[in-house]
Amino acid sequence: MTNGTAAEMPKKVLVIGSGPIIIGQAAEFDYAGTQACRSLREEGVEVVLVNSNPATIMTDEDMADRIYIEPLTLPVIERIIERERPDGVIGTMGGQTGLNLVVDLEKSGILEKYNVKALGTSVASVEMAEDREQFRDLLERIGEPVLPSYAVETVEDAVEAGRKIGYPAVVRPAYTLGGTGGGIAMNEQELRQIATGGIAASKVGQVLVEQSLLGWKEIEYEVMRDGEGSVITICNMENLDPMGVHTGDSIVVAPSQTLNDKDYQRLRTASLNIISGLDIKGGCNVQLAYRPSSMVAEAIDEGAGYDDEGSMYYVIEVNPRVSRSSALASKATGYPIARVAAKIALGKTLDQISNAVTQKTTAAFEPALDYCVVKIPRWPFDKFPTGDRSLGTQMKATGEVMAIDRTFEAALQKAVRSMENGRGSLLW
Amino acid sequence: MSDVRGSMYLVLEDGSVYPGKRLGAEGESTGEVVFNTSMTGYQEMLTDPSYGGQILVPTYPMIGNYGTSEADVESNRIQVNGFVVRDDCEEPSHPLSEGTVHDYLLKNGIPGISGVDTRAITRKLRSAGVMMGIITPDDSAEAALENLSKAPRYGEFDVVGDVSTDEMYAWNGDAGERSRAFFDLRGRARQGGMGVDVERGIGQRDLGDNYMKVVVNDYGVKLNILRSLRARGCEVIVVPDDASADDIMAHDPDGVMLSPGPGDPELLDRSVETARSLVGQLPIMGICLGHQVIARAFGASTFKLHFGHRGGNQPVKDLETGRVYVTAQNHGYAVDAESLPDELNVSHINLNDQTVEGLRHRDLPIMTIQYHSEASPGPHDSEYLFDRFVGLMQEAIGTAPEKTSVVN
């Protein structure tokens, strides 16, 4: 079955960069965008690039056929489209900035007006991945676990919800700014307290009681899907710091070190089901919270096993684009994620894309590592000596080091040495 | 760990020596040295009967991180002749772990070696092809090669007889059932209608009214094939590798599964004969060695691959749908596409080397795959093939008169 991609392949494509460097969105998107531009030109596509940040490789003269260093705003992009008349636009290489711009271009009717196609993952898929309600519906539809949560209006109902969910439980007041009046309850007594305050604080007298995933293992899968529905995982990664610490602030190990095959495959299958459900065409990053299976064994012993409340993993987040983790996975495995994603955006299938490493085989394979990769974040605390050093859900790292070796211990030590903070290893 | 682990050596038949320290039992062991690229699932590999007669080298360097567990076995014992790893973990971390890989090998009396440059071994096997090897505590390479030359060569003797069951049995689930059942059935239970008995697990679940009866011809079957059939509501009966077609048909099955197993399919004339007699009588599914046996039953030939396909990352293209699946594989032999008769169509190919990965019969309900739809270890992408097999059996029943006419 062929999909006749050659005939429909766009001739001219607009690539949107990620703009200025900020915490959480740095050089990795330059890396991805550059790879994508090269990949598109390999296919004979005329590349138009727009990025507001001139201090990037992707804005070098020979990276694209035409380069605009302009503000990444809707009116500016519209004028570029009007002038260049590209056949398609790719925003999935430019971080959240690029992705949001494509969504805005679609919604404002600009894409339709100039007959430009959003290439790769569709805007509808992006919205489904990013909208809490739509995503929840999708998970339910494809039979993946949904984090139990109950909207309640009385303290007694909150306690009842806490009994169903188990502790710790998160209390989120509805419609309050910045989550005022919420918190994490470790037991019924705390839940009563927090729920009382939360219900009072909420404008509508309602709180959401949710299961807390604090301390669960945090596992990520980098996955890739083409227009024919073939799906592969590039790499999985395990965060040394569990749920509660931002991935960008966590030591990350690839591949996962504490999952057995059944754990690994279960989460892999869940990730693939989700990107298939979202109809992703290109790269995607799936983050999961995972509870080791002894608790599951106990749950089964108690006869409470198979329902949603007994689930051992939840999807926390899906990034329907090339992400910070993709850059890490790409370097860790040698699999050129952005290069392949760009070709998928043009309509090619995984088995039509050559494997840049072997030259003989195709991009339809899963890298098998015979080594271990450790990433350690680099924080700018030396420049902000009085800054708050506690780590949480807001990313603070401004850089990172990555080390490769045959064992975890060796890779970790190499990474520590690469931090350039005067230490030779963890011990001295 | 109280025992002192002394030096051990892996000596390949080309004379190369790889020193390391003892892992598992003391003693000497020979076998065909093969590598597997899976990053997880070492215990499933160790207990996979298809590794009978072989020394297994995982390319992934850190082995034993999550320990060993009763839930992760694929047969009733360790099946490999030896185990060669880069680094073994002495302090596993997993809630289900019951002990280290070292203790596990020790308990099963299987010798192994740790601290070896497995990457160098893999590179050698990739260029020179798989070869015989010996694990020995003796530091004399000459003596080791002498012993190796006296050992039976893989591919020249029938391993299937060693790993197959001696007696026929009805399979009702056993060790490892609970944890596996959870993974397979959680999703299904939610979608409704599976009638899962949470307390007892799928193995002991009562069969429904319309169950299929499958006879599994055991050339070295993995438990997860039995679990996968049972999970689809099949009654599972396992018969020894030397069961005749009459023995099999005496159970009045709705379908036959020819299982995976170790060794060269050219040595299995009896099994090929059995398969030939079964053709046309009822739906047949062949996995791995079973696939090769069916191909041979139709007159096709098989050949030995240079270094085999072993790992959980092999891309297979389904030629009917155009989709690519990542599959678990473990085979050293393959079916020669040129030798296939017209009535067998290639349904799947390997994207790495274009070899045959699956066959469908033009008219009869016969399907085969060279890879492992039961995974364990490996991706679960191909479980749908068990559904397809059950579908073939249901169809055959629905068209019973036609089935009779085929037999005649």
Q: What pLDDT digit, counting tens, does each position of B355-373 carry?
A: 999 999 999 999 999 999 9
Q: What pLDDT digit, counting tens, does each position of A355-402 carry?
A: 877 788 899 999 999 999 999 999 988 888 888 888 877 788 888 999
Other CB atoms within 10 A of residue B279 CB:
18
Q: Is B102 a catalytic residue?
A: no
Give the closest residue to A74 by CA, choosing from A92, A91, A93.
A91
Question: What is the widest separation between alpha-carbon atoms in chain A?
Answer: 67
Which residue did the predictor score with more confidence, B40 or B175? Answer: B40
Give the closest residue to B85 by CA, choosing from B105, B109, B108, B107.
B105
Instruction: Kindly state whether residues A194 and A256 are assigned to the same domain.
Output: no
Q: Which two tokens stand for residue B206?
A: 């009562």
Percent residues over pLDDT 70 in chain A: 92
Q: Is position A366 within any domain?
A: yes
pLDDT of residue B404: 39
Q: Which two tokens stand for residue B378?
A: 């490996």
SS3 A151: strand
**Shortest distance, CA A266 to any CA of chain B (angstroms):** 7
Q: Which two tokens stand for residue B114?
A: 């740790």
Cβ contact (<8 Å) for A297 and B190? no
**Shortest distance, CA B383 to any CA of chain A (angstroms):** 11
Q: Is position A188 within any domain?
A: yes
**Shortest distance, CA A42 to any CA of chain B (angstroms):** 23
pLDDT band at A227 (very low <50, low <70, confident <90, very high): very high
pLDDT band at B207 (very low <50, low <70, confident <90, very high): low
Q: Is position A300 within any domain?
A: yes
pLDDT of residue B209: 63
pLDDT of residue B266: 96
B152 pLDDT above the threshold of 70 = yes
Question: What DSSP designation does B68 have?
Answer: B
* Residue-averaged pLDDT of chain A: 88
Q: Is position A402 within any domain?
A: yes
Residue B208 to residues B177, B184, B194, B233, B397, Cα–Cα distance (Å): 19, 18, 10, 7, 16
pLDDT of residue A308: 36
Query: Choosing from B288, B309, B348, B357, which is the catalytic residue?
Result: B288
Angle at B82 between CA B77 and CA B87, to 5 degrees: 105
Instruction: Give the type of residue at A158.
Output: A
- Where among A119, A137, A169 does a domain terminate? A119
Give the closest residue to A183 by CA, choosing from A170, A192, A174.
A170
d(CA A377, CA A383): 15
Sequential DSSP letters for B1-65: --S---EEEEEETTS-EEEEEEEEB-S-EEEEEEEE--SS-HHHHHT-GGGTTEEEEESSSEE-T
**Shortest distance, CA A302 to any CA of chain B (angstroms):** 8
pLDDT of residue A22: 81
Residue A132 to residues A35, A128, A156, B167, B200, Cα–Cα distance (Å): 31, 8, 27, 56, 37
Domain region containing A349: 217-418
Query: Looking at the partner chain, which of A257, A367, A406 has a beta carbon nearest the beta carbon of B65?
Result: A257
Sequential DSSP letters for B216-236: EE-SS--HHHHHHHHHTTEEE
d(CA B74, CA B180): 11
Mean per-residue pLDDT for B299-303? 97
Beta-sheet strands, E only, within A201-328 = 207-211, 217-225, 231-239, 252-254, 282-290, 313-319
Residue B277 to residues A54, A83, B274, Cα–Cα distance (Å): 73, 72, 5
d(CA A198, CA A191): 10
Cβ contact (<8 Å) for B182 and A305? yes
Q: What pLDDT digit, counting tens, does each position of B212-221 carry?
A: 999 999 999 9
Domains held by chain A: number: 3
pLDDT of residue A183: 83
Q: Is the peptide bond before B379 cis (omega within 30 degrees of 0)?
A: no
Q: Which two tokens stand for residue A252?
A: 């990350």
pLDDT of residue B175: 35
Residues of B in contact with A305 (CB under 8 A): 182, 186, 198
User: Domain holding A337: CATH number?
Assistant: 3.30.470.20
- Residue pair B35/B113 in contact (Cβ under 8 Å)? The answer is no
Q: Is position A153 within any domain?
A: yes
B206 pLDDT above the threshold of 70 = no
Q: Is position A127 within any domain?
A: no
SS3 B306: strand
**Phi, psi for residue A105 in degrees, rounded to 5:** -60, -40
Residue of B nearest to A227 (CA): B323
Residue of A nearest to B42 (CA): A261
Q: What crossing angle do the helices spanning A337-345 and A324-333 adopt, rounded to 10°? A: 110
Question: Going by DSSP bridges, is the β-strand pair A399-405/A372-378 parallel, antiparallel, or unpaired?
Answer: antiparallel
Mean per-residue pLDDT for B352-356? 95
Query: Looking at the partner chain, which of B61, B191, B196 has a beta carbon nearest the beta carbon of A370?
Result: B61
Residue partners of B172: CB distance under 8 A and separation at least 6: B203, B204
pLDDT of residue B254: 95
Sequential DSSP letters for B255-299: EEEEPP-SS-GGG-HHHHHHHHHHTTTS-EEEETHHHHHHHHHTT
Q: Is B288 a catalytic residue?
A: yes
Least confident window among A325-334, B62-71, B186-195, B343-352: B186-195
Mean per-residue pLDDT for A30-58? 93
pLDDT band at B95 (very low <50, low <70, confident <90, very high): confident
The CATH code of domain B7-150 reads 3.50.30.20
Query: Looking at the partner chain, which of A232, A297, A306 has a beta carbon nearest the beta carbon of B189?
Result: A306
d(CA A254, CA A328): 9
- Residue pair B121/B85 in contact (Cβ under 8 Å)? The answer is no
Cβ contact (<8 Å) for A406 and B352? no
SS3 B385: helix
Instruction: Kindly state whether residues A263 and A284 are assigned to the same domain.
Output: yes
Mutation site, B183, B227, B316, B321, interface A, largest A CB count within 10 A: B183
H-only helix segments in A85-184: 95-107, 110-113, 123-130, 132-142, 155-165
Residues of A in contact with B119 (CB under 8 A): 370, 406
B199 pLDDT above the threshold of 50 = no
d(CA A305, CA B184): 13
Q: Is B372 a catalytic residue?
A: yes
Question: Going by DSSP bridges, is the β-strand pair B131-136/B212-217 parallel, antiparallel, or unpaired?
Answer: unpaired
Q: What crossing angle do the helices spanning A74-84 and A95-107 adopt, rounded to 10°? A: 70
Q: What DSSP element (H or E) covers A418?
A: helix A408-418
Instruction: Kindly state whether residues A234 and A190 are assigned to the same domain.
Output: no
Map out the domains of chain B as residue ranges: 7-150, 160-397
Cβ contact (<8 Å) for B95 and A259? no
Residues of A in contact with B311 (CB under 8 A): 368
Instruction: Kindly state whether residues A205 and A237 are assigned to the same domain.
Output: no
**Shortest distance, CA B212 to any CA of chain A (angstroms):** 25
Instruction: Kindly state whether residues A176 and A47 are assigned to the same domain.
Output: no
Handedness of CA A176, A178, A180, A186 (dihedral sign): positive
Instruction: Kindly state whether residues A238 and A310 are assigned to the same domain.
Output: yes
Q: What pLDDT digit, counting tens, does each position of A291-305 carry?
A: 865 444 444 444 333
- Where among A211, A242, A258 does a domain terminate? A211
Instruction: Kindly state whether residues A275 and A192 are assigned to the same domain.
Output: no
A310 pLDDT above the threshold of 70 = no
Which residue did the predictor score with more confidence, A360 or A160? Answer: A160
Question: Going by DSSP bridges, is the β-strand pair B82-84/A88-90 parallel, antiparallel, or unpaired?
Answer: unpaired
Instruction: Kindly state whether residues A368 and A412 are assigned to the same domain.
Output: yes
pLDDT of residue A392: 79
Instruction: Kindly state whether residues A257 and A317 are assigned to the same domain.
Output: yes
Residue of B nearest to A291 (CA): B95
Residues of B in contact with A361 (CB under 8 A): 315, 351-352
Mutation site, B39, B48, B348, interface A, largest A CB count within 10 A: B39
- Residue pair A296/A312 in contact (Cβ under 8 Å)? The answer is yes
pLDDT of residue A382: 84
d(CA B246, CA B239): 12
Block residue for tokens 């023995």: B247
Q: What crossing angle do the helices spanning A123-130 and A132-142 adopt, rounded to 10°? A: 90
Query: Looking at the partner chain, which of A229, A266, A370 has a beta carbon nearest the beta carbon of B323?
Result: A229
Q: Is position A327 within any domain?
A: yes
Residues of A in contact with B323 (CB under 8 A): 228-230
Q: How many helices (H) and strands (E) does chain A have?
A: 14, 16
pLDDT of residue A166: 85
- Residue pair B212/B235 in contact (Cβ under 8 Å)? The answer is yes
Query: Looking at the partner chain, which of B62, B198, B313 has a beta carbon nearest the beta carbon of A372?
Result: B62
- Where among A188, A211, A234 does a domain terminate? A211
Mean per-residue pLDDT for A5-18? 83
Least confident window among A177-191, A231-245, B141-155, B293-307: A177-191
Beta-sheet strands, E only, within A125-225 = 149-152, 169-173, 183-185, 207-211, 217-225
Q: How far apart are the first and last CA of chain B?
A: 65
**Shortest distance, CA B124 to any CA of chain A (angstroms):** 15
SS3 B180: helix
Q: Which two tokens stand for residue B27?
A: 């003693």
Residue of A nearest to B191 (CA): A143
d(CA A192, CA A169): 11
Residue A177 to residues A174, A203, A393, A394, B167, Cα–Cα distance (Å): 9, 10, 17, 17, 70
A176 pLDDT above the threshold of 80 = no
pLDDT band at B4 (very low <50, low <70, confident <90, very high): confident
Residues of B in contact with A143 (CB under 8 A): 187, 190-191
Strands, sheet with A282-290, edge to edge from the N-terminal-most edge strand: A313-319, A282-290, A217-225, A231-239, A252-254, A372-378, A399-405
Least confident window among A2-11, A89-98, B88-97, B292-301: A2-11
Residue of A nearest to B349 (CA): A351
d(CA B222, CA A9): 46
Q: What pLDDT digit, counting tens, does each position of A315-368 carry?
A: 988 999 988 889 999 999 999 999 999 999 999 999 999 987 778 889 999 999
- Residue pair B216/B239 in contact (Cβ under 8 Å)? The answer is yes
Q: What pLDDT digit, counting tens, does each position of A228-259 carry?
A: 999 999 999 999 998 888 888 999 999 999 99
Handedness of CA A182, A184, A189, A191 (dihedral sign): positive
Q: Is position A428 within any domain?
A: no
Q: So what's the architecture of B160-397 in CATH?
A: 3-Layer(aba) Sandwich (3.40)
Give the closest residue to B138 by CA, choosing from B28, B52, B224.
B28
Residues of A in contact with B379 (CB under 8 A): 265, 268-269, 366
